[in-house]
Structure 1
Amino acid sequence: MLDAVVIGGGPGGYVCAIRIAQLGKRVALVEKEYLGGTCTNWGCIPTKAMLTSAHLYTEIANKSKRLGIEISGLDYDLKKIMSHMNRTITMSRKGIEHLLKKNEVDFFNDNAVIKDAKHVLLEQSGEILETNNIVIASGSEPSMFRPFSEVEGIWTSNDVFRLEEMPESLVIVGGGVIGVEFATFFSSFGVKTTLVELADHIMPSEDSDVADELRKSLTRQGVEIIEKTKVTEVEREECSFILNAEGEQELSLQAEKVLVAVGRRPNITEDIRDLSLKIERGIVTDSRMQTSVKGIYAIGDIRAGIMLAHVASYEGIVAAHNIAGDEMEMDYSAVPSIIFSSPEVASAGLREADIDDKQKVKIAKFPLSANGRARTVLENTGFVKVIADKESGKVLGMSIVSPSATELIMEGVVAVRNGLTVEDLENSIHPHPTLSETILGALEGIDGMSIHI
């Protein structure tokens, strides 16, 4: 008898299985395809590997002369870019496999079918695993809907990772994280890229000033951005697609390729539905990650909550501790949101758009252009914004548009999660010259005492 069977080997599932094993319990992990799930194989890891090439290419193209480096014949090799991506994926898979063996997790590369709350069938081998607990971590798949689903050849994000040649032109439908990151990649290499977003601005989950800064950067890179617009029709011609769209005005777009990047939907299979779990958009759980059926837990994208790899991993840890008999609850108060655009974007905690009229807060911004380290690396687009409680001084939120924003945001995460005040952070000496001093500048601005602006 197993203590737990975890279904799905993505960042939620494998982390959960390892933690259960570390807590002294016997656990099996079942993954029908590749270890690492969407993140390793069709998401975070391959995207960032590709973007590393794109960022390096644009850095050389845009900065080399000003930095005194003479470059001639700058070019790129798509096959080598994709080879780097595939090597990164393979290394990540092997790393996870090693960790499972190290922690004595029983791994089955098979399709799991849940028979009931105590039994899981391995479809290929026919073996039935008997268990006290089941963790569903089956992940998600790219969303596709009409009119795109009716036209052959429309890309999802998965198709980009099979790229064999660059298109001359591309329309990306969806200006969220996936759309912006792919717009960054393709435009870096000269692809005529158009980004269409239904909401008022790209990155609709972020504040408008964050979106404004990113819009300016993408536009300089040659991306055409069309907001407040819905694609209503798509037609395929011999070598291109025609898209009709409605917004503030009707328009028609033509491109060699179309990429639909409007998010993902949970993989809820029939065996999961047959369990009579409470399902809304995704599987509903409590703060301990337990579903409406005792002994069955759900983590990650299958919940259709915050679909981020690092959230799935922490949900897996919470589920593992509860399965092992500990009391642990999820806390979503300081989830970092990160975008590997150019410049990068990151935020944690409260956004300015979320502030209630009754909330008494102070807001301060510090521009990247006033930072010494930014000047040394020829960067001037971006800022740090801090939102603090007016009375207590606690940091409630932080947004960063900057190179390395995805690393810098951790200061905001720690502050929001632990109720630290502006003074707590100000009194922590920030190294010089670094981009982290932009955070210090914004903190000083909360009380109108920024020194460097």
Structure 2
Amino acid sequence: MYDAIVIGGGPGGYVCAIRLSQLGRKVALVEKEYLGGTCTNWGCIPTKAMLTSAHLFSEIKDKSKRLGIDVSDLNYRLDGIMSHMNRTVTTSRKGIELLLKKNGVDFFKDKALVKDPHSVLLEKDNSLLETKNIVLANGSEPSMFHPFSNVEGIWTSNDVFKLNEMPSSLAIVGGGVIGVEFATFFSTFGVKTTVIELAEHILPYEDTDVAEEIKKALKKKAVTVLEKTKVVSVEKLDKGYLLNTAGEEETTIEAEKLLVAVGRRAVLSDDIKNLGVEIGRGVVTDGHMRTSVPDVYAIGDIRAGIMLAHVASYEGIVAAHNIAGEDLEMDYSAVPSIIFSSPEVASTGLRESDLKGRSDVVVSRFPLSANGRARTILESSGFAKILAEHETGKVLGMSIVSPSATDLIMEAVIAVKNGLTVEQLENSIHPHPTLSETVLGALEGVEGKSIHI
């Protein structure tokens, strides 16, 4: 009899299982395919491995001459890029397996079928495991719908990681995080790339000024960006695809490859539906990660909430502590959102678009072009933006467009999570010369006292 069985070995599931074991509980983890889930195998890790190659290529191509470095015959090898990606993925998988072993988690590579809230059938092994609690961490899959679902050969994000030849041209449907990151990768290596976004602007969950900065960066890479545009039909050609779009103007786009990157949907198998848990877009839980069925918890993408690996991991931590008899509740107020575009994007807390005419909030921006460290690395596109409560100075949110924005955002996460004020951050000495001083400049600007602009 297990204290808990966790179904799914992604960033939510394996973290939950390890923490349960650390809390002295007997736990099993069941994963039908690869440890690490979407993040390690078809998401965060392989994408960032590929983008690392793209960013290095861009740095050499765009900056070497100005930095006094002579480079001739610059080229790339796709097989080398993909080998780096595959090594990174394999190492991550093996690392997770080692962590499970080290922490005494029983790992079953099998398909789990939930029979009831206290028993799970291992399909291949045909054995029944009994448990006091079940944690559903079954994850998500790429969304596909009409008119794309009936056309052969269209890529989802999963298919890009099987790449063995660069296409001459690529149309990407969806200008969110996935679409922008892949547009950055392919355009860097000379692929004629078009991004088609239905919303008002690309990166629709970020502020307009953030999206505009990234749109400018993509256009410098010769990416065509179509916003407020819908694909109404798709035709498969002998060598590629023909897309008809409608928006401010009707457009016809021809591309060798077509990638649909409009997000992901929860994996809701029949055994989960038959379990009787409440289902909306995904499995519904309370803040303790409990479902409507006693002793059954759900974490990560199966909830169809904030579909981010780091959110899934913390939901796994919360579920584990509650199963262990503690009282821990999720707090989504300071979730960092990160995008590995070029420059990078990171945000947390409130966006400017959330303010809806509030007069009690001060918005302060500081340009990257005024930062000394940025000048040394030949970067000028971007900014840091602070949203702070006028009366108290409390930091409500931050957005950063900059190299290393995905690392710089942690200062804001800590501030928003803990209710810190602009004064507290400003009085914490920021090292010089660093990109973190862009954040300092925005903090100073809240009271109109920026020194360097």
Please classify the TM superposition score into its range, dividing by the shorter chain length: over 0.9
Query: 1:211 matched to which residue of 2?
Result: 211
Query: 1:232 matched to which residue of 2?
Result: 232
Q: Give the whole-Å Cα distance in 2 for the aligned partners of 1:159 and 1:16.
A: 29
Query: 1:355 matched to which residue of 2?
Result: 355
Query: 1:7 matched to which residue of 2?
Result: 7
Q: Give the whole-Å Cα distance in 1 for the aligned partners of 2:320 and 2:90.
A: 27
Query: 1:248 matched to which residue of 2?
Result: 248
Query: 1:156 matched to which residue of 2?
Result: 156
Q: Give the whole-Å Cα distance in 2 for the aligned partners of 1:359 and 1:104.
A: 54
Alignment of 1:24-423 (within 5 A): 24-358=24-358, 360-423=360-423
Q: Give the whole-Å Cα distance in 1 for the aligned partners of 2:316 and 2:392.
A: 33
1:357 deviation in Å? 2.8
Q: Give the whole-Å Cα distance in 2 for the aligned partners of 1:159 and 1:175.
A: 18
Q: Give the whole-Å Cα distance in 2 for the aligned partners of 1:153 and 1:29.
A: 34
Q: Give the whole-Å Cα distance in 2 for the aligned partners of 1:120 and 1:153.
A: 36
Alignment of 1:422-441 (within 5 A): 422-441=422-441
Residue by residue, what CA displacement relative to the aligned partner does 1:358-408 show, whole Å, maximum 9, x if unpaired? Answer: 451001000000000000000000000000001110000000000000000
If the length of structure 2 is used for normalisation, what is the TM-score? Answer: 1.00
Q: Give the whole-Å Cα distance in 2 for the aligned partners of 1:108 and 1:317.
A: 21
SS in 2 for 1:138: coil
Q: Give the whole-Å Cα distance in 2 for the aligned partners of 1:144 and 1:279.
A: 20
Structure 2: stretches of 5+ with no match in the other structure = none
- Which AA in structure 2 matches 1:123? E
Q: Give the whole-Å Cα distance in 2 for the aligned partners of 1:204 and 1:366.
A: 22
Q: Give the whole-Å Cα distance in 1 for the aligned partners of 2:258 and 2:126.
A: 41
SS in 1 for 2:54: helix
1:411 deviation in Å? 0.4
Q: Give the whole-Å Cα distance in 2 for the aligned partners of 1:275 and 1:138.
A: 14
SS in 2 for 1:447: coil
For the aligned residues, what is the CA RMSD? 0.5
1:356 deviation in Å? 3.4
- Which AA in structure 1 matches 2:47? T
SS in 2 for 1:432: coil
SS in 2 for 1:149: coil
Q: Give the whole-Å Cα distance in 1 for the aligned partners of 2:339 and 2:237.
A: 34
If the length of structure 1 is used for normalisation, what is the TM-score? Answer: 1.00
- Which AA in structure 2 matches 1:11? P
Q: Give the whole-Å Cα distance in 2 for the aligned partners of 1:296 and 1:43.
A: 27
Q: Give the whole-Å Cα distance in 2 for the aligned partners of 1:357 and 1:303.
A: 32
1:209 deviation in Å? 0.2
- Which AA in structure 2 matches 1:52? T
Q: Give the whole-Å Cα distance in 2 for the aligned partners of 1:201 and 1:401.
A: 16
SS in 2 for 1:353: helix
SS in 2 for 1:417: helix
- Which AA in structure 1 matches 2:171? V
Residue by residue, what CA displacement relative to the aligned partner does 1:154-210 show, whole Å, maximum 9, x if unpaired? Answer: 000000000000000000000000000000000000000000000000000000000
- Which AA in structure 2 matches 1:367? P
SS in 1 for 2:190: coil
Residue by residue, what CA displacement relative to the aligned partner does 1:417-453 show, whole Å, maximum 9, x if unpaired? Answer: 0000000000000000000000000000000000000
- Which AA in structure 1 matches 2:106? D
1:240 deviation in Å? 1.4
1:276 deviation in Å? 1.1
Q: Give the whole-Å Cα distance in 2 for the aligned partners of 1:118 and 1:409.
A: 41
Residue by residue, what CA displacement relative to the aligned partner does 1:295-315 show, whole Å, maximum 9, x if unpaired? Answer: 000000000000000000000
Matched length: 453
Alignment of 1:13-28 (within 5 A): 13-28=13-28
SS in 1 for 2:242: strand
1:416 deviation in Å? 0.2
Q: Give the whole-Å Cα distance in 2 for the aligned partners of 1:325 and 1:256.
A: 55
SS in 1 for 2:400: strand
Q: Give the whole-Å Cα distance in 2 for the aligned partners of 1:66 and 1:319.
A: 52
Structure 1: stretches of 5+ with no match in the other structure = none
Q: Give the whole-Å Cα distance in 2 for the aligned partners of 1:414 and 1:337.
A: 14
Q: Give the whole-Å Cα distance in 2 for the aligned partners of 1:237 and 1:303.
A: 38
- Which AA in structure 2 matches 1:339? I
